[in-house]
Structure 1
């Protein structure tokens, strides 16, 4: 699987579903808020016999303004809901495609938003944001 293309495709599906988010398929140097980006990647090769299926876990980040504690966390919470117009989970999972179709426009066989973790403050440069990590599991041919 093409890791760079997958990271970009994740940002693209979120941007298409939630246009109010600034989305990147890479870790940006400057964070325009609110911001979603594809970060770290873990790859488990050969999940089936031979050179079969690989599994990739992409840790994405969602960062919002820390203008004040309550409004910043409320903004973050709306994106972390399991469903709804601002749900990151729902937006990413539109990338699965219709039944029988490949995920992310043919880049993978399937994907699933596995979990949200590390809900906390993040320091980027000299600015602090409220944020969380979203772990996306992607499977496909190696």
Structure 2
């Protein structure tokens, strides 16, 4: 698996699939930790990679830590928006948007970049400081599996 391509494909899936309520800025997304955030913003941050989950480089597993940050002009409204994006379903759900990139039955995920992906967990719901600004946000864990020698 080519990690840079996967990072960008996850960000593309989030950007394309999340529909925020009327009157709110659309979600911005990036495959890497940005210098500056235009909230609400989703990005792929750290990752852990396990090699050789099957013989002959047949399978690697990567768990990406991603973050979503929301501006906090109104603390309650910011947390309500974040809750919508962290929900397991609905038009603003990051899980729904990202898992839509799994493809149909028998298709590879992320446009052929991986065998499969799964949004597994939300953690770290708290205030984050990024480039000197405070946001409310959370981490979303995404497991991606694919060919190790590709």
Structures share a fold, TM > 0.5? yes
3-state SS, counterpart of residue 106 of structure 2: coil
Q: 2: distance between equivalents of 1:125 and 1:17? A: 27
Correspondence 1:6-85 to 2 at 5 A? 6-18=6-18, 20-85=26-91
TM-score where L is the length of structure 1: 0.97
Aligned to 1:111: 117
Q: Which runs of 4+ in 1 moved over 4 A?
A: none
Could you state the TM-score of these two structures normalised by the residue count of structure 2? 0.92
Q: CA RMSD in A?
A: 0.9
My pick for the range that moved more, 63-72 or 116-125, is 63-72
The separation in 2 between residues aligned to 1:133 and 1:6, in whole angstroms, is 18
Q: 2:107 aligns with which of 101, 106, 112?
A: 101
Deviation at 1:69, TM superposition (A): 2.0
Q: Where does residue 91 of structure 1 map in the other structure?
A: 97
> Which structure 2 residue ranges, 5 or more long, are not aligned?
20-25
